[in-house]
Amino acid sequence: MARAFTVMGVVNVTPDSFSDGGRFLDEEAAVAHALTLAAQGAEILDIGGESTRPGAEPVGEEEERRRVVGVIERLAAADTGAELSIDTSKRGVAAAALDAGATWVNDVTALRSAPELAGLIADRGAMCCLMHMLGEPRTMQENPRYGDVVDEVRAFLEERLAFAVAEGIPEARVVLDPGIGFGKAVEHNLELLRRLDELVAIGRPVMVGTSRKSFLGRLTGRAVDDRVPATIASNVLALERGASLFRVHDVAPVHEALTVAAATVGP
């Protein structure tokens, strides 16, 4: 039997995302792109209206909501079979997205930015992804430092999981993410991927988001659009080390590679 895995396709409705900013800012283009990703095997579509790239400027709540709600409504109506996830740290944006048909909240601040988001997720019975980030997007890549990066990320994720559960989110609805590239130097990202099994040992499904990220460019010398082979390598190895959710831009090639990897490693 093959190991189970889930691919989350990235739909950035932003002018400034690091790899695809501006390409899907228009509602029509975002919906068409999301439908393609679903047809390519994405079981979750992660819709975001605010870039978290290093140095990104924050977006106001109204503008962020405006970017994502129409896209989510149309995808919910399209009934692709894929679940819809809202990539936000704001309670108001998450509430509107859940009203529009989303069933996941992906919060890169792990409920620190808006702790009251936890109660909303609990009330709505939504799934949530809690991600590690050191600092905040504007400054996070300015010389990040750790003692033991894996121990620190593990302790952080355990603490945020306990917070979510204390706020009424069932543990079974939480997945955890080391936050590749969020306040991490190349070596920190590699150490996290090397020792991913230590995060899997927490006992919740682990998501990884390596897709097209700059540490892959630093290793290969490739520009952002030419990082598919590097993205595949990192996701395949993450699967082998126990990750089960993979957040990517290039769904078709990653899904194909993971299908082979999953059959090879077995259950």
Contacting residues toward ligand HH2, per CB under 6 A? 10, 12, 14, 17-19, 48, 51-53, 87, 106, 108, 129, 131, 177, 179-180, 207, 209, 247
Q: How far is the CB of 51 from ligand HH2 (least distance, A)?
A: 4
Interatomic CA distance for residues 19 and 223, integer angstroms? 10
Comparing CB distances to ligand HH2, the nearer of 14 and 234 is 14
Q: Is 26 helix (H, G, I), strand (E, B) or coil?
A: coil
SS (H, E, C) 46-99: EEECCCCCCCCCCCCHHHHHHHHHHHHHHHHHHCCCCEEEEECCCHHHHHHHHH
Residue 170's nearest CA partner among 208, 128, 201 is: 128
Which is it for the CA torsion 53, 83, 255, 251, positive or negative?
negative
Residue 180's nearest CA partner among 131, 138, 221, 245 is: 131
Comparing CB distances to ligand HH2, the nearer of 108 and 238 is 108
C-alpha separations of 193 from 19, 168, 215, 234, 239 in Å: 21, 30, 12, 8, 10
Q: How far is the CB of 5 from ligand HH2 (least distance, A)?
A: 15
Task: Respond yes or no: is residue 74 known to be catalytic.
Answer: no
Q: Which residue has the tokens 């996701």?
A: 235
Task: Respond yes or no: is residue 65 known to be catalytic.
Answer: no
Comparing CB distances to ligand HH2, the nearer of 32 and 260 is 32
Which of the following is catalytic: 53, 154, 184, 247?
Answer: 247
Which of the following is catalytic: 91, 160, 213, 227?
Answer: 213
Comparing CB distances to ligand HH2, the nearer of 138 and 264 is 138
Q: How far is the CB of 107 from ligand HH2 (least distance, A)?
A: 8
Interatomic CA distance for residues 265 and 219, integer angstroms? 26
Q: How far is the CB of 180 from ligand HH2 (least distance, A)?
A: 5
Nearest-CB residue for ligand HH2: 209
Q: Contact 156/132 with Cβ under 8 angstroms?
A: yes
Q: Contact 121/94 with Cβ under 8 angstroms?
A: yes
Comparing CB distances to ligand HH2, the nearer of 101 and 209 is 209
Q: How far is the CB of 79 from ligand HH2 (least distance, A)?
A: 25
Active site residues: 213, 247
